Structure 1
Amino acid sequence: MLAMLLCDYSAAAEYASTARAAYRAIGDRRAEARVEMILGAVARERAQYEASAAHLDKAAGIYVECGDELGEARAVQLRGFTAWLAGDFDRAELRLRACRRWFERLGDAEAAASALMNLGAVALYRGDTDRATSLLDAALERYAALGFPEGVGWAHNLRGLVELRTGRADRAEEHLALSLATHRKVGDRWRTASVLEALAEVHRRDDPTRAAQLLADAGRIRDEIGAPIPACERPDTEATAAALRAALGDGTPLPARALIPPV
Structure 2
Amino acid sequence: YGAVALFADRARVAGGSFTLSEANRELVVDLCRRLDGIPLAIELAAARLTVLSLEQIAARLSDRFRLLREGSRMGSPRQRTLRATVDWSYELLPEPERALLRRLSVFAGGFSLEAAESVCSGGSVDETEVLDLLGRLVRKSLMAVQDRGGVARYSLLETIRQYGWEKLSDAGEDQMVRDRHCRWFLQLAEEAEAEFRGRKQSAAFARLELEHDNLRAALAWSTDQPDADATLRLTSAMGHFWRQHGYYSEGLAWLKRALELSAGANPLRGKALLWASTLALELADYSAAERYGTESVASAQEGGGQWELGFAQHILGSVAFRMDEMEQAAQFLRSSFTAFQQAGTTWGLALGYQSLGLLSWATGDYDRALETADEGLRLFRMSGDDEQVASSLRLLGSVHLTMGNFTTASAVLQECLALFERLGAKRSVAHANNDLGILARIRGDLDEAKRFHTASLQGFRQLNVHQGVGYALVELALLALTEKDVASALSTINESLIIFRDVKDRAGIVKCLECRAASEFQEPYRAAMLLGAAEALRESIQNPIEPYLRDWRESIVVTAVQALGAKEYDLAYSEGMSRSLDEVVGFCLEGRWPPIGSTGSREEPKPLIAGHPRNNSGR
TM-score, scaled to structure 2: 0.41
Looking at structure 1, the residues matched to 324 and 350 of structure 2 have their Cα atoms a distance apart, in angstroms, of: 21
Looking at structure 1, the residues matched to 503 and 352 of structure 2 have their Cα atoms a distance apart, in angstroms, of: 22
Which of 526, 538, 554 is equivalent to 1:238? 554
Deviation (angstroms), 1:29: 2.4
Matches within 5 A, 1:53-92: 53-92=370-409
Deviation (angstroms), 1:82: 2.0
Matches within 5 A, 1:20-99: 20-99=337-416
Whether contact under 8 Å (1:44, 1:82) holds in the other structure is: yes
Matches within 5 A, 1:134-145: 134-145=451-462
Q: Does 1:247 align with 2:247?
A: no
Looking at structure 1, the residues matched to 419 and 478 of structure 2 have their Cα atoms a distance apart, in angstroms, of: 28
Residues 179-225 of structure 1, C-alpha deviations (whole Å, 9 max, x = no match): 2221222222122112211110110x211111111111101101211
- Give the structure with the larger helix fraction: 1
Q: What is the one-letter code of the residue matched to 1:51?
A: R
Whether contact under 8 Å (2:533, 2:573) holds in the other structure is: no
Q: Does 1:260 align with 2:614?
A: yes
Cα root mean square deviation, aligned? 1.6
Match of 2:517 in 1: 200
Which of 97, 114, 118 is equivalent to 2:435? 118
Residues 55-77 of structure 1, C-alpha deviations (whole Å, 9 max, x = no match): 21111111111111111111101
Looking at structure 1, the residues matched to 562 and 380 of structure 2 have their Cα atoms a distance apart, in angstroms, of: 52
Looking at structure 2, the residues matched to 149 and 87 of structure 1 have their Cα atoms a distance apart, in angstroms, of: 29
Percentage identity across paired residues of the two chains = 27
Deviation (angstroms), 1:261: 5.3
Whether contact under 8 Å (2:554, 2:615) holds in the other structure is: no
Q: What is the one-letter code of the residue matched to 2:556?
A: T
Looking at structure 1, the residues matched to 538 and 341 of structure 2 have their Cα atoms a distance apart, in angstroms, of: 33
Looking at structure 1, the residues matched to 328 and 464 of structure 2 have their Cα atoms a distance apart, in angstroms, of: 29
Q: What is the one-letter code of the residue matched to 2:564?
A: L
Looking at structure 2, the residues matched to 232 and 103 of structure 1 have their Cα atoms a distance apart, in angstroms, of: 26
Deviation (angstroms), 1:86: 2.4
Whether contact under 8 Å (1:245, 1:254) holds in the other structure is: no
Which of 526, 529, 535 is equivalent to 1:213? 529
Q: Which runs of 5+ in 2 are unaligned?
A: 1-317, 578-611
Looking at structure 1, the residues matched to 501 and 354 of structure 2 have their Cα atoms a distance apart, in angstroms, of: 24
Q: Which runs of 5+ in 1 are unaligned?
A: none
Q: Which runs of 4+ in 1 moved over 3 A?
A: none
Match of 1:171 in 2: 488
Whether contact under 8 Å (1:81, 1:92) holds in the other structure is: yes
Q: 1:24 to 1:143 in 2, by over 3 A?
A: same
Q: What is the one-letter code of the residue matched to 1:248?
A: L
Q: Which moved more, 1:221-230 or 1:82-91?
A: 82-91
Deviation (angstroms), 1:136: 0.7
TM-score, scaled to structure 1: 0.94
Deviation (angstroms), 1:259: 4.3
Q: Does 1:227 align with 2:543?
A: yes
Residues 141-182 of structure 1, C-alpha deviations (whole Å, 9 max, x = no match): 111001111211111111011111111111111121112221
Match of 2:474 in 1: 157
Q: What is the one-letter code of the residue matched to 2:402?
A: L
Residues 103-153 of structure 1, C-alpha deviations (whole Å, 9 max, x = no match): 111111111111111111110111111111111111111110011112111
Q: What is the one-letter code of the residue matched to 2:478?
A: L
Whether contact under 8 Å (1:164, 1:202) holds in the other structure is: yes
Q: 1:178 to 1:129 in 2, by over 3 A?
A: same
Q: Which moved more, 1:161-170 or 1:187-196?
A: 187-196
Whether contact under 8 Å (1:116, 1:136) holds in the other structure is: yes
Query: Which SS does the other structure have where 1:255 is aligned?
Result: helix
Looking at structure 1, the residues matched to 566 and 557 of structure 2 have their Cα atoms a distance apart, in angstroms, of: 13
Q: 1:259 to 1:244 in 2, by over 3 A?
A: farther
Looking at structure 2, the residues matched to 155 and 14 of structure 1 have their Cα atoms a distance apart, in angstroms, of: 30
